[in-house]
Every structure is written in C-alpha cells, then in structure tokens.
Chain A
Amino acid sequence: MLLGIVFIISVGSFYLIHLLPGNITTVIEGPGASPSNQAKLYKLLGLNKPLFQQYFIWISNVLRGNLGTSFISQTSVASTIRAALPIDLEMMFLSQVVAFATAIPLAMRSARKPDGWLDRIFSAGSFTLLSVPSFIVIVLLVLFVSVKLGVPHTGPSSYVPFNQDWIVNLESMGLPTIALAIGSFVVYFRVLRSDLIATLQEEFITMARSKGISQRRIMWRHAFRPSSVALLGTAGVNIGGLLAGGFIVQYLLNIPGLGYTLIQAINESDYLLVQGIVLVVSVGVVLINFIFDFVINIVDPRISRE
C-alpha cells in the first residue's frame, strides 16, 4: 500500500513538468531562443526519449538523492530543500506541542460538564475559530501584535537557525507557532471533546466511578486512552492541511522554510525546484500518516486494519 502510494506520487510529480504549456525549452531559454539551440537543449534534457524511459532516468536519479539542478539559480534542488526542511519540521513540532498542550486539558474540562457554562464558552469559541482560515489569523496577528503593540516580527534576514542562537530562533518562531497552533487546537479540541463525552457515558466509566476512583484519574487513565485514538487519527489527517497553512505563514512572515521557497520558486518559474518540493512534501505527509496509523494501532490494539 505504502509503496503503491509513493509510486503514484512519484509518477504524479514527474508528470507535472509536462503540464507546462508549450515546450519547456522555451521556458528555460526564453521566447527569443533559436530553434537549433532549443533542439540541442531538448536532446540534452532527454526529452526526445519515450516518456516511461524519461521517468526511469528521473526516478533513478531521485533515488540517489539527485533532484536536478535549478535552471534559474543553478544550485542543486536537493541542497536547497535540505536547507529549508528543518524550519518546517521545527514549526510543525512547536505548533503541535502547543495545540495538544492546550486542547487536551480544555477538552477534558469541557467534557466533564457538557453544556455547562465553561463548555458553552469553549465550544462557541472553538466553533468561531474554526471558520477563520490560518492566513487571516496570521494577518490579524501581525496587525495587532506588530502594528498596534509595536512588537516587531522578524524578517528574512533576522531568521537565526536553532543551533546558532536558540533564544532568538524561538522568538522568531513565536508568531508562526501561534498562528498554526490555533488552527490545530480548534480541531483537536472539538474532536477530543465529543469523543470524551461519548466515552464518559460508557459502562466502564460508571464502574470506575462507583469504585470511588478520583475524577482526574478517571479522565486520564480510563477515558483519555480510548478517546485519544480519534485525536491521533485527526492529527494524522490534519498534517497535510497544517503544512499548507505553514506555507502561507512562512510566506507572510518571511521565514525561509519549504513554503517560502516553494512560493518563490512558483513566482520565478523555477519548475524543478517546485517539482522537488512537491515530491518531498507529499512523500513526507504520506509517511507521517503511516506513522500515525502505526501509533494508533499501538494505543488501541482493537483496531486492526482491514
């Protein structure tokens, strides 16, 4: 299954280049290129070979870690991606930590007394936030935090890698982390809340209550574990959306991660770089999803995949 999906992704990413209108040589050499030069380049790129042969050449290069050299910047696509990837991973990690750390306690609090005033406030609030796309969150955050309160947010030049100065790095990660965490928080909170409410009505919870086990212990030990399956499942599905949200956040705050690189590549028509990023990100998302499925199986052994 996994191999099948990765294969389809690779074919899809490979074929992207052929979606370009007209001849790619025109794209590279500009409209004024002479036909003989175009023909030379056409041969150089191996475009005269049949499509499946091109794919094999391409995929064998990819498997050796060679994603090609950008026509625009003349740098290796793989090294560009390698430089940007850690930023995305850090952003995702931080935002997920924040989202889980806020969603889990709040959902437990809400589920303890469903329809209580606290639950009503949390539920209404999370429902409202659900309708605010992450790019609006970030624009409004920038508006209020940076413009109104006068707190500067960092530009591309002031971005500092984690291993150079981790304090400054974390400072520059503050806004993007919050913006991404809000979107995830809302989803996790709502899923966990409704699942906890359902779980708390089960008989084994009544049993635990009748044994006089404390509320806190019931929540964490008895109710959270079965409910966390839905949470993990949602988190796995959420990753793709999170990445795309991260792209926009990076672009808006000038953080040189994959998203920022991707948008620049799109604007500069740097097609090989776009292709490389799409391939790496898609395979990454699929792998993360499979890891989540694996973890879910450990948490809840009752689920055996069909």
Chain B
Amino acid sequence: MNIKFIKLQQLLSCICLALFIHIAHADEAAPLASDPVLEQRLVSISEEMRCLVCQNESLSGSRSELAQDLRREIRDLIKQGKTDAEIRSFMVDRYGDFILFRPPVKPTTWLLWIGPFVLMFAGIVALLMYLRRRNTQVATTSLSDDENKRIDALLRDDK
C-alpha cells in the first residue's frame, strides 16, 4: 500500500512537472537572435572592434547605424563560413588597424606588446643590482622611536 502510494505520488509529480514545464515553455521568452550560437560568435568578434562613429564603444555594443551595418556584414561573413581571422582581415582591409581594439603584432607594435614585460624584467634586475650595491654602503639616518619622541618634543617646544 505504501509503495502504491509513493508510486501515485511520483506519477502525480511527473504530471505536474510536465504541465509546469509545458506552461513555462509556453511563456519562456524566445532569444532575440534567430541563431544564438552565431550571435555569440558575432559578439566575441565585434567586442574586439571599435565603433568608428561612437569611437569609445565597441562594435558589439554601439547603437550607431554604421555599427549595425557592420554587425550585419559580420553576420553574413559568419554564415558564409569565414574564420575569425578572415573576418578581421575584411574589416582591416577597409578601415585599417584602427578598427581593432587588440593591436596586431607587427614591427610597429613590438614595443607595445613586449615593452611591459621588458620593463618588468629590467625593473627586477635593476632592483637586485641596486640592493647588492647598497649593502656595501651602510649609513644611519633612520629614526628610532626615541629619536621620534625627541623630535616631537623639540617641535612642540618650538611653538
């Protein structure tokens, strides 16, 4: 009898769940894009491009007409089966490197890409060299706690 009851419960739960899913499905908002996978790829490509009209925004987020037109172009290119690199070339051929937020690595941008790491390496090396040299020169101008208290007292006396 218990088992039958449990089975009935399970059956009822299934039916309710099915009904609920059906209802939820009926109300569930449809994605705006007809092809979410394509849209995802569009977003990731256009996110790294500059809108040339609203130049502080990316091609992905900008609401300007040119941005909408260029997004339409990219969508078409994706549908044609072009790779990300080909789509980037398409844009660069027409608008130059300026449209890419990620500067391409070429001789004119070597300094840009390598610079920070060279700087970091140089900084650490310079630090180590400085520290080695420093330890051979010893001086004493730090203030001890007593000295600090004396300074306070002196300053107080001095109006």
Co-assembled chains A and B: no
Q: List the interface of chain A (C-beta within 8 A of B).
A: none
- The interface of chain B, by Cβ under 8 A from chain A, is none
